[in-house]
Amino acid sequence: MDVAFIIETIAKIVVILLVFSALAGLGTYFERKVLAFMQRRLGPMHVGPFGLLQVAADGIKLFTKEDIIPQNVVKPIFKIAPVITAATAFMASAAIPFWPQFTAFGYTVHPIVADINVGILYVLGVMAIGLYGPLLGGMASANKWSLISAARSAAVFISYEVITGLSLLAPLMMVGSLSLVDINNYQVGGITHWIVWSQPVAFVLFWIAAFAETGRTPFHLVANDHEIIDGFGTEYSGMRWGLFFIGEYANMFFISFVIAIIFLGGFGDGTIAGAFQLLLKVAFFFFFFLWTRAAWPDVRPDQLMWLCWKVLMPIAVLNIVVTGIVMMF
Amino acid sequence: MNHEEPFTNRNVSESSTYYYVDIETYPVSGWDKFKQVFRRAIRGELFVGLWVVMREMIKFDIHTLQYPLEKLPIGPRYRAVHKLLRLWESGYERCIGCGLCEKICISDCIRMDTRIDENSRKEVTEYSINLGRCIFCGYCAEVCPELAIVHGGRYENASEQRAHFVIKDDMLTPLDLLKAGEQAEYPGFGAIIPGSDASVKKTPLAY
Ligand code: SF4
Ligand code: SF4
């Protein structure tokens, strides 16, 4: 039993690592294509059919590029920072149920690495540790842009942790469990049972905070190309930079899974149709990340802080209070 | 006879194309700022932005030009690598070796050599233009009395060295193309003004 369990877990981990590393690559392809179409361009066209092999070309380029460690950087920290970003992104995925359980060859597979009873707490906690990637990488880089970016990432991530936490509190009070599987099963009755209908405010707040957590465009000030070059990634090259990149895109996918599971019913009753619905929902949220990047401008850091502490946090607290009062009576 | 180019008035300051944009006064107090944010949040401007890019994506009206495969048309008066034209009827070279182009070239990049041929006619043996120096000003085409040297539309002339040349054989219209009627007169610098035939008067024979 124990050996089988260990083998199964390792297999799951390997599958998740491979699938989401590949998806991160494909994510860049879709991002370029979607942005290009929205700006009336064609995007990558020349490598492979419709530029599909561009991902492979970029992968080869990243792997074979010289790994430059500049002078004056704090070497051990500079080297380990990208690993933190990628590793925490994938560690966070351990408690996410990607797919309902299914039976293959008489063997029941649970497509979740560890169904722990504090699932969502674990996911958010580990994603929060991901802050150390940009923070340490930026501070170790001996570059002023990176330093600014590190300071910003610390400020943004810590502030928006508050929003994610508070906004999730209200739905969690209703469900009464922190396990993502339990949250999913709470909404098993179909579209009318989705938490988004009873907690629309929490849904919007969490969605907004997700943009800050992943550093995507309206809140992209951590690595804003036009003001601080590539922020914490400025001094990085080759695969170390690639790890930052994989971490960012994996995070986008995982946070999309989390939103879809908590607020939009997840995989529903666990049938194949429900499972594909989950993938559709995730695809929508991922697409929305790209969509906003084409449509919206970036906000200033002070505006972001203002939004967080003076608007979103009071709303989140109010939401919790109202939910509590409604649940009491 | 007067010839008048059609004139486009590009002086925007005279026409009323400029107007002042309505700029709201900036909010001063915190409460005003909050009201502004609230108003903007309610008005749904963010969704207008989302709709605009989505509309463009659905319309799929791509304006990318895949350059080496597709090219933009260039104007007939464009001044790129030179051509030497031939006379339409006889097929002889138009250039009479007068050397005016060599003389006027402000970059000093035309070099030519001539000789007297069997019919006591001046013939151009060598004619080269250093494209690394040429600034494509069009003076050579303008000064040429025979409409012999003109500009062409060949603009892809990257080279590995600073000095690179076109020689007579490259520029001269090949005879077969001339016979096929492919040679075109150049409407740009040095071309005859349209309607100039009418302004030429017969020399009155006063003697
Ligand atoms: S275009 Fe100007 S610079 Fe070039 S060859 Fe003619 S006169 Fe000289
Ligand atoms: S000005 Fe015209 S005719 Fe005279 S040498 Fe130059 S190309 Fe020949």
pLDDT along chain B (207 residues), means of 10: 61 68 85 84 83 89 84 84 89 89 92 90 90 91 90 86 86 85 84 80 70
The letter for the amino acid at B183 is Q
Atom 5 of ligand 1: nearest residue by CA position: B134
Residue A37: list chain B partners with CB under 8 A.
56-57, 60, 62
Contact B66 A295 (CB under 8 A): no
At A230, list the tokens.
């590539």
Alpha-carbon dihedral sign for residues A82, A87, A88, A93: positive
Please give the Cα distance from B149 to B141 (Å, whole number). 5
Greatest pairwise CA separation for chain A in angstroms: 64
Q: What's the Cα-to-Cα distance from A110 to each of A18, A87, A96, A103, A104, rounded to whole Å? A: 18, 22, 11, 9, 11
A-to-B residue pairs, Cβ atoms closer than 8 angstroms: 38
List, in sequence order, the alpha helices (H) in B60-201. 100-104, 139-143, 168-171, 175-179, 196-199
Provide the residue range defining the domain that includes A313: 70-328
Closest CA to A68 of A171, A164, A142, A179: A142
The interface predicted TM-score of the complex, written ipTM, equals 0.76
Looking at the CA of residue B133, tell me the nearest atom of ligand 1. Answer: 3
- Is the Cβ atom of B131 under 6 angstroms away from ligand 1? no
Point out the residue among A41, A42, A296 whose CB comes nearest to the CB of B49: A296
Q: B149: CA distance to ligand 1 center in Å? A: 10
Please state, as a whole number, how many other Cβ atoms lie within 10 Å of the Cβ of residue A172. Answer: 20
Closest CA to B190 of B144, B135, B156: B144
Question: Which pLDDT value is given to residue B115?
Answer: 92
Contact A33, A26 (CB under 8 A): no
DSSP type of residue A219: G
The letter for the amino acid at B132 is G
Q: Residue A12: inside a domain, yes or no? A: no
Q: Residue A211: inside a domain, yes or no? A: yes
Rg, C-alpha atoms of chain A: 20
Question: Which pLDDT value is given to residue A155?
Answer: 87
Contact B64 A40 (CB under 8 A): yes
Q: B82-190 belongs to which CATH class?
A: alpha beta
Q: How far is A200 from chain B (nearest CA, A)?
A: 16
Atom 8 of ligand 2: nearest residue by CA position: B95
Q: B72: CA distance to ligand 1 center in Å? A: 25
Please give the Cα distance from B77 to B65 (Å, whole number). 22
- Is the Cβ atom of B84 under 6 angstroms away from ligand 1? no
The letter for the amino acid at A81 is A
Looking at the CA of residue B143, tell me the nearest atom of ligand 2. Answer: 1
Closest CA to A259 of A313, A308, A213: A213
Residues forming a β-bridge with A171: none
Among all residues of chain A, which has the CA nearest to that of B46?
A296
Most informative mutation of B77, B140, B166 for ligand 1 (most atoms within 8 A of CB): B140
Closest CA to A220 of A304, A140, A284, A147: A304
Point out the residue among A38, A40, A292 whose CB comes nearest to the CB of B63: A40
Please give the Cα distance from A72 to B61 (Å, whole number). 49
How many domains, in total, are found in chain A? 1
Contact A72, A62 (CB under 8 A): no
Which ligand is the nearest neighbour of the Cα of B84?
Answer: 2
Question: Which pLDDT value is given to residue B191?
Answer: 85
Q: B168: CA distance to ligand 1 center in Å? A: 15
Question: Which pLDDT value is given to residue B16?
Answer: 64
- Is the Cβ atom of B98 under 6 angstroms away from ligand 2? yes
Band of pLDDT at residue A106, cut at 50, 70 and 90: low
Please give the Cα distance from B105 to B21 (Å, whole number). 50
Q: Residue A48: inside a domain, yes or no? A: no
Q: Residue A42: inside a domain, yes or no? A: no
pTM summary value: 0.78
Between helix A238-263 and helix A272-295 the angle, nearest 10°, is: 120
Average pLDDT on A202-211 reads 90
Residue A298 has pLDDT above 80, yes or no: yes
Please state, as a whole number, how many other Cβ atoms lie within 10 Å of the Cβ of residue B72. Answer: 6
Q: What is the DSSP string of A191-207?
A: GGG-HHHH-HHHHHHHH
Please give the Cα distance from A160 to A307 (Å, whole number). 10
Please give the Cα distance from A295 to B56 (Å, whole number). 11
Please give the Cα distance from A78 to A240 (Å, whole number). 9
Q: Residue A18: inside a domain, yes or no? A: no
Q: Residue A1: inside a domain, yes or no? A: no
Looking at the CA of residue B143, tell me the nearest atom of ligand 1. Answer: 7
Please give the Cα distance from B106 to A139 (Å, whole number). 57
Contact A291 B64 (CB under 8 A): no
Closest CA to A92 of A74, A67, A118: A118
Residue B53: list chain A partners with CB under 8 A.
38-39, 291, 294-295
Contact A296 B46 (CB under 8 A): yes
Q: Residue A273: inside a domain, yes or no? A: yes
Residue A115 has pLDDT above 80, yes or no: no
Average pLDDT on A176-201 reads 81
Residue percentage of chain A with pLDDT more than 70: 98
